[in-house]
Amino acid sequence: MVETTLHNPDAISTAEEARAIRLTRARRRSRNNIFRHIFLIICSLIMIYPLLWMVSASLKPDNEIFGTLWLWPSEFQWNNYVEGWDALVVSFSRFYMNSIIITVLSVIGNVISCSFAAYAFARLEFNGRNIWFSLMMMTLMLPYHIVLIPQYLLFLQLGWIDTYLPLVVPKFLATDAFFIFLMVQFFRQLPRELDEAAMMDGCSPFKIYWAIIMPLSIPAMATAAIFSFIWTWQDFLGPLIYLNDVKDYTVPLALRMFLSQDSVSLYGEMFAMSVLSIVPIFLFFVIFQRLIVQGIAMSGLK
Amino acid sequence: MAGVSLKSVNKKYGTVEAIHSIDLEVNDGEFLVLVGPSGCGKSTLLRMIAGLEEITDGTISIEDRVVNDVPASQRNLSMVFQSYALYPHMSVRKNLAFGLSNMKMPKPEIERRVADAARILQIGELMERKPRQLSGGQKQRVAIGRAIVREPQLFLFDEPLSNLDAELRVQMRVELAGLYNRLGTTMIYVTHDQVEAMTMATRIAVLSNGHLEQLGTPFELYNFPQNRFVASFIGSPKMNMLEAEAKGGAVELADFGSLPLGDGVSDGSLAVGVRPSQFLVGDEGDVHASGKITLVEYLGSEMFIHVQLASGRVMMVQAPGHSVYKLGDEIRLGISRRAAHYFDSAGLRVPLFDKQDS
Ligand SMILES: Nc1ncnc2c1ncn2[C@@H]1O[C@H](COP(=O)(O)OP(=O)(O)OP(=O)(O)O)[C@@H](O)[C@H]1O
Ligand SMILES: [Mg+2]
């Protein structure tokens, strides 16, 4: 029996055919792979070029910045960083301080208030829950520019113009529907039996949130924190409208001041400061995205 | 320890009635098992006792205290969930201690209770692990541990073993029974596994569609099912039902012929139920029928034979494992009138031979 199958000429030719097909497939696959990689590398170069350009511009002598597309500076102007820091009427130390205060408060406010609201929508029973939820979701569709003027008038009435209050207080009032939605979705996939077990263990709704839901939602919280950080840190319009005193300016507003000055010679310094302004975002992202991964591993939820 | 008493308890989800006015007395120190098909309301009933679900109508009392409006944590009971519901971010020790520290119990007392539970359930080495590092059986033990550290007067279990594989289920069943014997606390246990119900229960409550069909000891339920639902639900394989007509003190059975039942039976339709183990093979019994074997299921210690009678009806017959029945064999079955169960047209038990039996 074995003999016949082994020496069956048909069997051999089928085996060879199969190997030939496998080989052509493998060849085609590796060729495809090469093309795919080349394509992706080109795409990512295109994506990253502006960033590289900015970094290189921050190191170039002023006359080279717009003159050439070539990225490598003829001469490294590290001085741009030193001079840029104090080039404006107020030092960048101050601008960073302002930005950090606003951003940190906003992140804390957003994470706390939005997770409260999300917990209510995901777990508590109250009248008109679905209606409130859809109303909240509708605010996602409203462009910021539409609410800008009414909001400005409101804060004017409150006498909050020229303070950080309009930039920070709303963050503590769960105004960002996107984060609430993100967290509601996350909370909903936590098993309800956990809440019930906690309830039997004598937890109040707040304690359930605090001791069970929140520790298990670190990935969602970290995601919200990252987005909240990025959006607040790079927010230009908000500070532009509500802040008038240069001493209160945030980093993006300060960068803009380089342009409003008459002298053209500060481009290098401006790009140097622009590069520095990305560093906090980068650091924050690196730290918090690790929390996302850790959180998912820790919860061990299937 | 405490008894539980349900008085016309009713539950509606919107307009759908999940529980129809159930009365149930659970005695102090009893192991009561709730069984029934999927969706019959077992979990709902248990969750109402636990306080996780509002009751629409009626009263629930635990140890003579009406608890309708008492929050779950103050009913002095513990519940073990089907999915265990261990807190994934806490170690086993924290999982056990969490409820106690919420009650502001002094530290040494918490430690004593946690250590006790760990000893009873043999989870001492697992105390610092997180739930995700435990096997299914270990998680189950921790879940039970979390229930016993509270030293409640009532335990509630919602299908606690259904996520375990067959072997582990048997082992945990034995352990649970041991735990019950040791603690003597009242337990209410939901399952749809008959073996669990029959082996562990002091009494079983059979539910169907939100109605309480019968409440009784496993012996009563198996031997004196009060209606057709209980008769076919308890016992595996199912009881054979022969629809028939009673007339003049006898019942006319297809295939088997006329079975005299005495004066106690009134005319009208009557169903005769015979458990697979109650069929007699050969010439014993009061009426007989012959049939052909269409399937033999061999289980080792016993075998189940499907026998097709002349009318085409198939009877399930249990035979000892050493018998030699083969597919296609002719076999003669007998029914003894005293071993059969009788149900009237409303599906209720007609207690014809119960007295002599008991
Ligand atoms: N929150 C709810 N809303 C509406 N109907 C519900 C709700 N919970 C349960 N029900 C209904 O109530 C009935 C009883 O449900 P229950 O969960 O008590 O069944 P069960 O006997 O535990 O079933 P299983 O063995 O599948 O767990 C079912 O028909 C179910 O659809
Ligand atoms: Mg259930």
Residue among B95, B69, B199, B224 at smallest CA distance from B147: B95
A-B Cβ pairs (cutoff 8 Å, strict): 61
Tell me which architecture the domain covering A88-300 has in CATH: Orthogonal Bundle (1.10)
Domain boundaries, chain A: 2-57, 88-300
Q: Which of A195, A199, A201, A207 to mutate to test the interface with B (most CBs of B within 10 A)?
A: A201
Q: Does A216 touch chain B (CB under 8 A)?
A: yes
Q: Does A146 touch chain B (CB under 8 A)?
A: no
List CB contacts (< 8 A) between A215 and chain B: 89
pTM of the model: 0.81
User: Which atom number of ligand 1 is nearest to the Cα of residue B41?
Assistant: 18
Instruction: Please report the domains of chain B, with CATH numbers, ordered by start residue.
Output: 4-232 (3.40.50.300), 237-343 (2.40.50.140)
pLDDT at B340: 92
pLDDT at A302: 42
Closest chain A CA to residue B74: A202
pLDDT at B75: 92
Read out DSSP for A220-256?
HHHHHHHHHHHHHHT--HHHHHH---GGG--HHHHHH
Tokens 């098909």 belong to which residue? B37
List CB contacts (< 8 A) between B95 and chain A: none
Mean confidence (pLDDT) of chain B: 91
pLDDT in tens, A1-53: 444 455 566 666 788 888 999 999 998 888 889 999 999 999 999 999 888 88
pLDDT at A97: 93
Closest chain A C-alpha to B145 CA, distance in angstroms = 13
Closest chain A CA to residue B155: A200
Instruction: Among the bound ligands, name the one nearest to the CA of residue B38.
Output: 1
Sign of CA dihedral B63, B69, B74, B80: positive
Does the distance separating the beta carbons of B89 and A216 come in below 8 Å? yes
pLDDT at B146: 94
Of all protein residues, the one whose alpha carbon is nearest to atom 11 of ligand 1 is B18
Residue among B6, B194, B190 at smallest CA distance from B80: B190
Tokens 């019959």 belong to which residue? B40
> Which residues' Cβ are closer than 6 Å to ligand 1?
B 13, 16, 18, 36, 38-44, 192
> 3-state DSSP call for residue A160?
coil
User: Which atom number of ligand 1 is nearest to the Cα of residue B44?
Assistant: 18
Q: B83 alpha carbon to ligand 2 midpoint, in Å?
A: 11
DSSP structure class, residue B225: -
Does the distance separating the beta carbons of A299 and B99 come in below 8 Å? no
Tell how strand B31-35 and strand B186-190 pair up: parallel
pLDDT in tens, B161-189: 988 888 888 988 998 999 999 999 999 99
Does the distance separating the beta carbons of A197 and B78 come in below 8 Å? no
Is 90 exceeded by the pLDDT of residue B238?
yes
Q: Higher confidence at residue B264 or residue B109?
A: B109
DSSP structure class, residue B330: E
Q: Average pLDDT in the A95-101 region?
A: 93
Name, in order, each residue with C-beta under 8 angstroms of B275's C-beta and a sequence gap of 6 or more: B235, B239, B240, B318
Query: Is A99:A254 a contact under the CB 8 Å cutoff?
Result: no
